[in-house]
Amino acid sequence: MAHRVDWVRGSVLLILLILGAASAALTQHWLPPAALAVLACAFMMLRHLTSKAPRSFELIDCDEIIGHPQTTLERVAELERRSEIYWQAARRFEELFSGLPIACFTTDAKGTIYEWNRESEKLWGYPASEVFEQSMFDLLWPEAVAKSVRARLARVFAGRKSDPFEVELKSSRQNRSWVLSSIFPLRDPNGNVVAALCANVDITDRKKWEERLRNSESKFRCLIEHGRDVILTLELDGKITYASPSVKSVLDWEPSDLEGKNVHEYLRKSADADIETLLQNARIDAANLPPTRLAFLHQDGLYRYLECMPSLHRNELGEMVLILNARDVSDRLRMERALRASEERTRNIIDSALDAVITLDENGQIIGWNSAAHEIFGYTREETLGRKLLHLVVPAEERSGHPLDVEALFESQPDFDRVRTEIEVLRKDGERFLIELSLSQSVYGDAKFCSAFIRDVTERRNARVAIEQLARFPNENPSPTLRFSTDGKVLYANSASSPLLDTWQVSLGDPLPESFRSEIQSCFVEHKMSQMEFEAQGRVYLLDIVPVEGAGYANVYGSEITERKRAETELRIAASEIRQTKENLQRTLESITDGFFAVDKKWRITYINREARRLLDIAEDVQAGDSIQESVAYLRDTPLMRQLKLAFNSGETVRFETYFEESDSWLDVKAYPSGEGLSVYFHDVSDRKHSEQMQAAQLQQIREYSDQLEKQRHELRQANAKLEEANSRLEALATRDGLTGIFNHRAFQDHLERAATSCARSNRPLSLLMIDVDEFKKYNDAFGHPMGDEVLIGVAKILTEHAREVDIVARYGGEEFAVLLPDADETAALTVAERIRSAIEDREWPLRPVTISLGAATTCGTCANAKDLISEADKALYASKANGRNRTSHFRTIQKEAA
């Protein structure tokens, strides 16, 4: 507003001056001195109004211009000269201070501001238009320091020196800031002080740093008193004059325990030379004392390693002292040793990894190449180091924008984390194959590296299709296969399980009936497999309930046993008939008057009736199973035994009469040899000589009894044959796999439990091979189930032929087999496994090659456990399949690799 009034007042005065000068010129036709004076003042005023020059014309009174024109002209000339000086000074000010990083402004003796550079505008926040001709005391300085600044300005205009001073600013932004200000005089050519230059430097940051320094000094004192580092002050003879409190936490000594003592008392003997060297260097005032590592005695009698940073200082007496800033590095040293060992293990792991691990620099050049990379690509380490991986495995026409262009990757994504993709690359022989590529970045100092993890996934891609086909396998199984949760809900059921689900009246997701649900839950509680028979829709099923530990479900494998149950029923009927026949036969033999006994091929008694005991005087303690020649010694050399041996050796039925001296009687003997032994019928014929008629009658009776006995014996043989046949059929159904003829899953479990118990009792090793036919589902889909069955039969035959005689070969389920190897340690198990694997691989199969994957596990002594052995062998089998199939893996080997 003040500027606007000055402009109006000046404009009016300028117009009056111009009009006055023009009127004088028109009336007199010349320019008198008064007119010239008026025009000169008008010119000066015009320059003032169009610039920021001082108002020089205000020093001339208007009346004086009219009354004394000549004097006015002289004064105008003087003012013009002074104005020119000002403009020159203003231009110099602009040249000197417009680009400086110092806030500068000019002022007169009253503190009025005239010049104001850009740095001043930044510092105070006022533009030049707002501060021009304003008082710096009112605008810039706080009241508390305005008086002091005014005094300093007066000293400058008085020609005295003014010292720099620091003051807190008063700015338009209301920000707290500090400046260092200095006031300098500006003199005219005559040496007079005509103005003052105020130079100001922003020291806000310095003030902040000073505040931080004060805080840091306080913190430093706290760090010394409470820090973890030990501070020791030593005189140059080794005497400890100060120990920080942290010595208690590091070495468990009180500071007073160390102070006044020689440092040698607390060092390991081997460190004496190091501290003495350090003190010697300190005595000669060495400029640089190297860090050193010393072993200090702990309160517990052990030593702790401290990393010491020595420095020389003068104490309050001016004497040189050695200050040790020591940090406990014992744990770090142990970690470093562990880290070096870990790095060595890492290098070994990388070199033995199944995946290719390739290290590249920022240019994509190979600097690391492990053994798996050699196996996958065919190049040796020497052939690859220093070459670009992109040029090595990617054709030239495909390299643009390729994921293996690591150099371009670092340029486009300097901080990339991980890149993962599947691409096709070339082997050394030119073969294209699919890999899974994972790129990750590592930074060591200023250098960047890229690690490429590569896995050949050609087989995995092919396996995906096989897996999808394999997923349909359970549903194609003609036997019921189900899965239940721990709370008895149906999680899965194949199509063959429909009769069971219909009988239970449930579907997927529904809970089972209480009776069957409790059976499943008891399996989880007892951690063992269970079997039960279940009848559904007129068919009988044998259900094997197998809880899967840790998975939260149980698998149920069913097989229809309707025919077997029918055979068992028939067998029970036949056995009942045989028992009845035997009982009838025994009653007959006991009721006849003839003596009868039967022996086997080793002359052991299989049966003897009461009449035979009486006639041959055989005691009651002689029972079936005893040797007749040893138990009845007096029969050994009798004519009776000689005749019976002749009949036995000739295999022909004989009849003879012999005198038996022991009972003083004649015996009529008939002997019937057979493949099982010898049957002997005899009776006392001593009275025959007394009565021929009675003898004939008795003979007839004997013949009839003999015929009846032979008939019953024949029936007994038939019943025995039928019983043996039924037993064989039952055993085959119960223990043998219907397709391959080897042991089935149930029989294998029985053998495994017995073998594990025997292993634990006798402290002998026990091994197990779990075998899976590689890509069997794909084989089935390609050539049909009949050809797949032929493969299973062939595999079972090879397993039986190449296993040891004592080994148990079984079909575990589907295309899985198991071989139990008693008394076989890890080496023997791997030998048998490799013999089996090679035999199957080398066999000429009719349609295409067949291979197997094997997983081996070995247990011994009291740690033998059937469930754990199966689990370990199964994990080893999974490792063989994961590592490419057609191989053998032992659980202990993969366990060591995982560690």
Site of tokens 């800033």:
325
Amino acid identity, position 262? N
Q: Using CA atoms, how far apart are residues 615 and 507, in angstroms rounded to an integer?
A: 75
Among positive and negative, which fits the CA dihedral 839, 842, 843, 849?
positive
For residue 343, the tally of other CB atoms under 10 A from its CB is 10
Q: Which residues of 503-540 are buried (b: 16+ CB within 10 A; e: fewer)?
A: ebebeeeeebeeebbebbbebbeeeebbeeebebeeeb
Among positive and negative, which fits the CA dihedral 209, 211, 213, 219?
negative
Please give the backbone phi and psi of residue 843, each rounded to the nearest 5 degrees, phi first. Answer: -70, 145
Q: Using CA atoms, how far apart are residues 181 and 189, in angstroms rounded to an integer?
A: 26
Among positive and negative, which fits the CA dihedral 370, 375, 376, 379?
positive
Among positive and negative, which fits the CA dihedral 775, 777, 782, 785?
positive
Q: Are 297 and 313 in contact (CB under 8 A)?
A: no
Q: Is 476 in the active site?
A: no
Question: Residue 768 in 3-state DSSP?
Answer: strand
Cβ contacts of 38 within 8 Å, gap of 6 or more: 17, 18, 20, 21, 24, 65
Q: Which residues of 729-767 are buried (b: 16+ CB within 10 A; e: fewer)?
A: beeebebbbeebebbbbbbbbebbeebbeebbeeebbbb
Residue in 309, 169, 331 with CA at minimum distance from that of residue 250: 331
For 234, what's the count of Cα atoms within 13 Å in the CB-facing half-sphere?
27
Please identify which of the residues 119, 611, 775, 815 carries the catalytic annotation: 815
Q: Are 124 and 172 in contact (CB under 8 A)?
A: yes
Q: Using CA atoms, how far apart are residues 608 and 624, in angstroms rounded to an integer?
A: 8
Query: Which class for 120: exposed (0-12), middle (13-18), buried (19 or more C-beta within 10 A)?
Result: buried
Site of tokens 């017995």:
754
Q: Using CA atoms, how far apart are residues 774 and 854, in angstroms rounded to an integer?
A: 10
Q: Are 771 and 784 in contact (CB under 8 A)?
A: no
Measured in whole angstroms, the distance separating CA 160 from the mean position of its chain's CA atoms is: 80
Q: Annotated active-site positions, please?
A: 815
